[in-house]
Amino acid sequence: MLDPTQLPVTHPTGQYAVLVGADLLPNLAQHAGIHGPIALITDSNVGPLHAARCGDVACLVTIPAGEQYKTLATVQTIYDELLTAGIDRQATVVALGGGVVGDVAGFVAATYMRGVDFVQCPTSLLAMVDASVGGKTGVDLPQGKNLVGAFKQPTAVLADITTLQTLPPVEFAAGMAEVVKHGLINNPDLFEKLEIGDWRLSNQSPIANLQSLVATAIAVKRDVVQEDPFEQGRRATLNLGHTFGHAVEQVSGYRVRHGEGVAMGLVAAANLSARLGYCDAALQSRVEAVLQAQNLPIRIPAEFEPKAIYQAMFSDKKKAAGRLRFILLRDVGDVFVTGDVAETAVRSTLTAVQSA
């Protein structure tokens, strides 16, 4: 069996390792260095598939699956179950699931008894390459996504790629949106491999290919968050496509998956960048081709009016001094943050990237 890929991550208060490999969950405690009791938090989709593979746990909490349950009410129910089970500060909270579970469980770990150890076991591609690394946790409010949260660094991240075999194709595609985003931000070689599709076609096994893809995408995020752990500068570039994407998600009532929103947002970011003269107009076509190859949407559905999407952008916590901040592209691997974008340009882009 292929050895796991280990990616060390340093942060202001220490370091942890991200392990990427197959069949990591059966040795969860050993791989993650857990010595006390485990409080495993999962959801109604992932729990039946993978919770039993995680060995002995002191407390298993299963929350309903879906972004609509990423709320303070869900956090309260988890606190109640942990207290009923007698979970104390010697325990480790383990998140087993996608990005919603990771965000909610991380927020619980940051706040329960003023903080307990936390381990991420992401089971979706999106969570592996994005949400599980960097220490950001949080829940949504009716006014917008991730408006309440905390920084909580994990003590370990185990990306067991075996779990991806049970992931519905539409969810795998959603995760590929973040992989594409990471290539655009800081890895032109990754983006070019996605353009020609050769990450699937090497002489390695499918599992080895997948392990390499996941580890490469994680490394992009790792490098950025190490440089800017508290989102004071460069880390904001990881939100490429998200100002548009989050607004589309919100207007859709979260029927649009996060990765689908990001895909639409990446196209919009490329369109806006070209509209403002920062990049060649051909870049939008390249981005669209890569996303289409991953079965991702490249147009905002016509049912979501540009006016409503623009208004939804203002509930985004990424705005500064009341102004929207956009991550724009000069080229693949060359992105920057700006708050100097005219409303007319944004509205023109929203109209241009909408389905007919």
Residues with catalytic roles: 114, 136, 178, 221, 231, 235, 239, 242, 246, 258
| Cβ 259 vs Cβ 164: under 8 Å | no
Parallel, antiparallel, or unpaired: how do β-strands 5-11 and 14-21 relate?
antiparallel
Name the residue among 147, 99, 139 with its Cα closest to residue 315: 147
Instruction: In whole angstroms, give the CA distance from residue 239 to residue 329.
Output: 12
- DSSP lists the bridge partners of residue 117 as 92
Chain-centroid distance of CA 226 in Å reads 16
Q: Which candidate, 125, 121, 232, 252, places its Cα nearest to that of 182? A: 125
Q: How far apart are CA 127 and CA 102, in angstroms?
A: 8
Closest CA to 249 of 238, 236, 240, 259: 259
Q: Which amino acid, residue 265? A: G
| Token representation of residue 246 | 């989050």
Secondary structure element (H or E) that encloses residue 116, with its range:
none
Neighbour tally for 147: CB within 10 Å? 14
Per DSSP (E only), the strands in the chain are: 5-11, 14-21, 38-43, 59-63, 92-97, 117-122, 136-141, 144-151, 156-160, 326-331, 334-338
Burial 229-268 (b: 16+ CB within 10 A, else e): bebeebbbbbbbbbbbbbbbbbbbebebbbbbbbbbbbbb
